Structure 1
Amino acid sequence: MRRTRLTDVPCPIARSLDEVGEWWSLLILRDAMLGLTRFDEFQRSIGLATNMLTRRLHALVEAGLLEKRPYQDRPLRHGYHLTDKGRDFLPVLIAMADWGGRWLGSEEAFRIIDRETGLPVEPLLIDRTTGEAIRPERLRPEFTIPAKTTWAKDECE
């Protein structure tokens, strides 16, 4: 059974979910951010069946979040490395780790530590324009919907 594609939906949240919305993809990206590159490393870390891992890695390469690079000739083997697009996903993973630590009781199991200070990182989302912390009470969504569309703003809320 094929899932509904969200690539044509104008909502950036829906489109992002279309590329990385499966939990296996998020875990692969997490591990790639932590330095894993090889198929067997991802498999050991995540515990995903080889056929599913192959599909998820292929999808992440197709989406431009990872790139394949050969690391061995005989037999030919590839490593999977983050692209610029993949590295730009890091703040999303950090925000998820912070949220999970606060609300799901996993703060001690996984923390992000600043290499220079040795202190835990306390993530904060900042507006690029004002330099101010982004707070929900100050936000107002605005939708610019093309004239001929069947998309409803409900798909992004």
Structure 2
Amino acid sequence: MTVVCHNWEILKKQTIRREVKHCKMCGKNSLFTDTNIRRHNSNGKHIYRFAIYKCEKNHTWNKKLDIYKTFRRHERVHGREPVNKESTLTELPVNLYMEKLISEVHVTIKSVEGVYRIDFLLSQQIPDWSRTAVVDKIRNGFILVNGLSIKPSAKVMPYDTIMIKLL
């Protein structure tokens, strides 16, 4: 029996984000456009993640996206970016039935843009499985995250390892 390993990067589809906000430098309401540049600040207890927006006259505004506790896994304290349903992976979807000798598939999440439930993500990326089938497999212990059983509503985080038992 063999184990197949995959590395996934879950990326949002690029969209232009704009917001109308009062610009202190211009003295009026201006249209701010996201530059897709992200900035992180830390105060010892928390890491703050900001998106940098610019108005028509190149004045900047930092929009707070997330606050994380400062330790290795960076658990989310509050706040999140809006989820874009259209996501792309750096690899093709996992074809789990191409060979009957495969006993396990390990998927390591390298990076995640946005917030994704594990049942939604796996049903999107495995063509033969519906969301209900993924939920049943999670509840029966055939899908584990970092070696632990999880809820179907668990969020996918960077450096998670999803183990899918096939046999």
Q: TM-score when scaled to structure 1? A: 0.23
Q: Which is richer in helix? A: 1
Structure-2-length-normalised TM-score: 0.22
Pick 1 or 2: higher relative contact order, CA cutoff 8 A, min separation 6.
2
Q: Return the index of the structure with the highest Cα Rg.
A: 2
